[in-house]
Amino acid sequence: MRTILITGPGGSGRTTVAAATARAAAREGTRTLVLSADRADTLGAALGAATGPEPARIAPGLTACRPDAAAGFREDLTAFSERAAGVLDLLGASRLDAEEVTPLPGAEELSFLRALRDAALSERFDLLVVDLPPVADALALLSLPEELRRYLRRLLPPERRAARALRPVLGKLAGVPMPAEWLYETAARWDVELAAVEAVLADRDTTVRLVAEPGPAGADAVRDAGLGLALRGLRPDALLANRVLPERTAEGWLAGPVAQQRKTLEEWRQTYDVTAVHHLGRDPRGAEDLDALPVPGVNGAGSTVEWPVLDRRADDGVLVWRIPLPGAVRDDLDLVRRGDELVVAAGPFRRVVALPSVLRRCTVSGAALREGELRIRFAPDPGLWPGTR
């Protein structure tokens, strides 16, 4: 299945573009599901039909859904409470009823990621169009599976499961209960679910599209979004410049805004495949308005970007890890090596990435930012790399 992730600054019209993209694909005979992360039914307002937690048929070949984060969180926490009944009784804690549970921070994101995974793995559809939150929240959402998996591996390392037979003995010696088997099983299940979400995001049939209004604010938002996505190893396959004013309006008080839009569009076209979505003179609502919007097709190239390692030992004695970071500023970059991981900070964004196996036997010998690409040099460690003494 192809997956198209659509995001942009708040108020840029990303939900409208997602709805128009889904309708265009369905008209061409593609079985399409459009998924929204918005609490309010902005997707239904754009489509002209209400949407909810259950998939609803909006038009021939088109289904829409808005997952209920509260219901998903209640189900998960109730199941966890039942599994942990013994521990709760030992601590004298009362169990929670589903009716008294309200979502905690992060619950909505996890529920939406689960819905995204289930939809992407479904055989009922050929295309999944995802109306993501505004770009800052979308970037946090896309980074969540990787971050949570890293935390789980640190808190409950898989290798410790080998000592399951010793836990009762250790518990008696320590005088406190040791982590029960169900805890490791739960962590393993979460790891599998999060890995499935990561696989969807990294799939070559998954693309990212940005929606923004051309102008100074939109230009800043697109620049930040491009950098944040690049740090996640993603690159937009299209940029939709929304609400573009017609050239014939470049008179009177509209001359300034039209000139600003024209300048921004020229800059964007140097980096992105830009589609101009002209202003209809009103907020698009319903099938007729959505069908009038010139959205790109759904068969574009994938958005994932490779981070290659170049072997330059023969020439310079180093290996170079090349990380594309378009829009990065040298003064806003920071690198920290922590064991077999590298912490990369670029502007307001940060990511902890595992080093490729070949670089784990090396030490960092320098880094440089050139032409929108971070190049990190690694020198083989003589103590770990035979033949380099």
**pLDDT, tens only, 172-225:** 444 445 455 666 677 777 788 889 989 998 888 899 999 999 999 999 999 999
- Residues 12, 9: Cα–Cα separation, whole Å: 6
Main-chain dihedrals φ then ψ at residue 89, nearest 5 degrees? -65, -40
The answer to whether 228 and 139 are in contact (CB under 8 A) is yes
Mean pLDDT in residue range 236-261: 84
Instruction: Give me the pLDDT at residue 249, please.
Output: 64
Mean pLDDT in residue range 152-162: 66
CA angle 251, 254, 256 (to 5 degrees): 100
Question: Class for domain 309-380, per CATH?
Answer: mainly beta
| 341-346 sheet: strands from edge to edge | 333-338, 341-346, 349-354
Q: Alpha-carbon Rg of the chain, whole angstroms? A: 24
Superfamily designation of domain 2-69+104-155+198-291: P-loop containing nucleotide triphosphate hydrolases (3.40.50.300)
Q: Which percentage of the chain shows pLDDT scores above 90?
A: 52
Residue 359: partners with Cβ closer than 8 Å, 6 or more residues away: 309, 319, 321, 378
Q: Supply the angle between the helices 107-121 and 69-83 in degrees, to the nearest 10.
A: 100
Q: How far is CA 167 from CA 128, 173, 179, in A?
A: 45, 10, 8
- pLDDT for 105 beyond 90: no
Q: Which of 352, 351, 359 is nearest to 381 (CA)?
A: 359
Q: Which of 228, 238, 205 is nearest to 120 (CA)?
A: 205
Domain segments of the chain as ranges: 2-69+104-155+198-291, 309-380
Report the residue count for the chain: 389
pTM, whole model, 2 decimals?
Answer: 0.84
- Residues 340, 307: Cα–Cα separation, whole Å: 16
